[in-house]
Structure 1
Amino acid sequence: MIPIQDSTPRHCPPVATWTLIGVNLTIFLFETWIPEPLLQRLFYLFGVVPARFVHPDWAAWNGFPADSLWPFVTALFLHGGWIHVLANMWTLWIFGDNVEDAMGPWRFLAFYLACGIAADLAQIVANPEATVPMVGASGAIAGVMGAYYVLYPRARIVLLVPVFFLPFFFEVSAFFYLAFWFFEQVFSGSLSLGARAVGGVAWWAHIGGFLCGVFLHRPFLAVRRRCGPGRDPYRPLGFSRYSERY
C-alpha cells in the first residue's frame, strides 16, 4: 500500500519539511557521484553500525573513531538507493507538513531528530551484534507518522494498491493505515531478530521511531503560532483542535 495523499489541510508553509527533503536529496545526489568503495566507507563511518557501539574493542580493531556519536544524526541523511530516498521523502512530504503545522519548524526539526536517534537506539537494542551500517531517514519519519497517528486519527489517507500492474485506489482512516503499518513493522521485526550481518530493512528502528512519536510528541507541540493571513494567530494548538477538525 502506497500512501498518495491525506485529507488534512495545512495552515503554514512546511519550511522544515521542505528543508529536510532538500537536504536529503542533495546528500543523496552527492552519494551518486562518489566511487563505490568511498561510498561504502562513508556508510560505515557515518551510518549506525550497532556492533560499533556495543563492542568498542571490535570497533577499534576495524578502525572506527572512538567515542563519536555523530552517526546517530548523520545516518538519518544517508540513503542506499533511489527507491530508498524517494520513498522516505514522499512519506515525509505526506505526513510531515501537518505535524510541523502543529509544532512549528524548529520544534518539528528537534522532534524529527529525537525520533531518529530513538529509532537508532531501538535497532541497536534489538540487534546489537549487527555489523552492517544502518542508514536512512525512515526511523525519524516513523516518529512523524506516530505523531500524526495521535494528532489526526480521523484524517483520510488515499492509498494506491497495485494488483497485477493495475492501480487501485482506496481511502482509509489514518488510524487504520498507520496502525496496520506499525503492526506490519512489528511482525517483520520479530522475524528479523538474530540477524548479525545481513543487510535489509531496520524494522526495529521503525518501531522505535513510531513509538517515540506517539508518546513523546506532546512537549513539542506549539501553544501559539503566527501564520499567514486568514488564520487566527493566537488559536492554541492541541489535541482538541485536531479532534474537532474531522
Structure 2
Amino acid sequence: MFPLKDSIKSNSFPVANSALIILNCMIFWYEISMDRYTLSLFFLEYGLVPVKLFLPGEVVTLSDKIIPFFSSMFLHGGWMHLIGNMYFLYIFGDNVEDMIGHYKYPIMYVLFGLAAAITQVVIYPHSNIPTIGASGAVSGVMGYYFIKFPHSRVKTLVFIIIFVTIVEIPAVIFLGLWFFMQFVNGSSQLMFSTAGGVAWWAHIGGFVAGVLYAITDGKRYVYRGNFI
C-alpha cells in the first residue's frame, strides 16, 4: 500500500513541516557530496551508535553521546530512504502541524524522534551499527494523526499481484496496519537476533510516543476547521 493523499485539508500553510522537509533534503545533499569513506565516518560520528553510549567518558565524550540523538534523525542512507520518509511526512505532517501549532510542532517532532532513538537503544544497547533517519520522528507524527483524525481517509495505491488500483482507506486502518507491520518485523528481528537493516523498534517507539501525546494533549479536530 502506498498513500497518495489524505482527505483532510490543512487550515494553513504547513510552514514548519515544509521547513523540516527542506532541512532533511539539504543535509542529504551535503551527504552525497562526500566520498564513501568520509560518509561512513560521518555516519559513525553523527549517527546513533548504541554501544558508544556505554563507553567510558575518556573514550567518548558526553557531547559525543548526546548529539547523535538529535543529529541522527536528520541523516539518510540513500535516495529512497529520504524520499520515503519525507513523503510520509508530507502526507500526514500538515494536519498534525495544524493541530499542534507552527511553533510547537517542530519541538514535538524532535521529541518523537528522541523517543524513537531511546527505544532503539533500549532494544539494541550493544549494537555498533549507526541508526540514522527521520522515520522515528515521522512515525510519531503518524501516531498523533492516528488518534486525532479518526474520520480521515487515505487515498491509497494498492498492488494486488499484477493488478494496481486506488482505494480510499480509513486512516485508522491504514496507520493501524502500518504499525502492525512494524511490530511484526521488529519482533522477527528480535527473534533472529539481528540489529542491522531497518530500525523497526525506532518506528514503534516514535509511533507510540505520538499516540501518547495525542491522547494527553486534550485537542480534538472539529470539521468546521477549528481546534478546541
TM-score by length of 2: 0.91
In 1, Cα distance between the equivalents of 2:58 and 2:91? 38
Is structure 2 residue 104 aligned with structure 1 residue 112? Answer: no
Which residue number in structure 1 is paired with residue 158 of structure 2? 161
Which amino acid in 2 is paired with 1:39? L
CA distance in 1, matches of 2:157, 2:50: 35
The correspondence of residues 78-117 of structure 1 with structure 2, limited to 5 A, is: 78-117=75-114
Within the candidate set 133, 136, 156, 1:136 is matched to: 133
Give the Cα–Cα distance (whole angstroms) in 2 for the partners of residues 51 and 239 of structure 1.
Answer: 41
The alpha carbon displacement at 1:78 in A equals: 0.3
* 2:188 aligns with one of 188, 191, 196: 191
Aligned to 1:172: 169
Residue by residue, what CA displacement relative to the aligned partner does 1:195-244 show, whole Å, maximum 9, x if unpaired? 777521000000000000000236667xxxxxxxxxxxxxxxx2152699
Cα separation, partners in 2 of 1:130 and 1:220, compared to 1, 3 Å? same
Of residues 142-151 and 194-203 in structure 1, the stretch that sits farther from structure 2 once superposed is 194-203
Q: Work out whether 1:241 is the aligned partner of 2:222.
A: yes
Given that residues 16 and 109 in structure 1 are in contact (C-alpha distance below 8 angstroms), is that contact kept between their aligned partners in structure 2? yes
Q: Residues 159 and 59 (structure 1 numbering): CA distance in 2 closer, same or farther, change over 3 Å?
A: farther
User: Contact between 1:127 and 1:193, CA under 8 Å: does it hold in 2?
Assistant: no
**Letter of the aligned partner of 1:119 in structure 2?**
A
Instruction: Establish whether residue 23 from structure 1 lines up as the match of residue 23 from structure 2.
Output: yes
Change beyond 3 A, Cα 1:162–1:22: same
Deviates most, 211-220 or 113-122: 211-220
Deviation of the 1:138 alpha carbon:
0.2
Counterpart position of 2:69: 72
State the AA in 1 paired with 2:220. Answer: F
Q: Does 1:149 align with 2:146?
A: yes
1:156 positional shift: 0.4
Gaps of 5+ in 1: 222-237
Kept in 1, the 8 Å contact 2:156–2:166? The answer is: yes
- Whether the 8 Å contact between 1:52 and 1:59 is mirrored in structure 2 is no
The one-character-per-residue Cα deviations of 1:27-76 (angstroms, maximum 9, x if unpaired) are 111111111111011111111111111x314992xxx4444301111111
1:87 offset after TM fit, Å?
Answer: 0.5
Q: Percent identity?
A: 38
* 3-state SS in 2 of match to 1:201: coil
Relative to 1, partners in 2 of residues 1:59 and 1:175: Cα closer, same or farther, differing over 3 Å? farther
Q: How many pairs were matched up?
A: 225
Consecutive unaligned residues in structure 2, runs of 5 or more = none
Corresponding residue of 2:206: 209
Superimposed CA distance per residue, residues 86-130 of structure 1 (whole angstroms, 9 cap, x where no aligned partner):
000000000000000001111100100000000000011111111
Query: 1:194, CA displacement in angstroms?
Result: 6.6
Instruction: Name the structure 1 match of 2:55.
Output: 56
Match of 1:33 in 2: 33
Instruction: Name 1:229's counterpart in structure 2.
Output: none
Provide the residue aligned with 1:234 in structure 2.
none
Q: Structure 1 pair 191/220, CA: closer, same or farther in 2 (3 Å)? A: same
Cα 1:195–1:123 shift into 2, 3 Å: farther
- Cα 1:218/1:175, change in 2 over 3 Å: closer
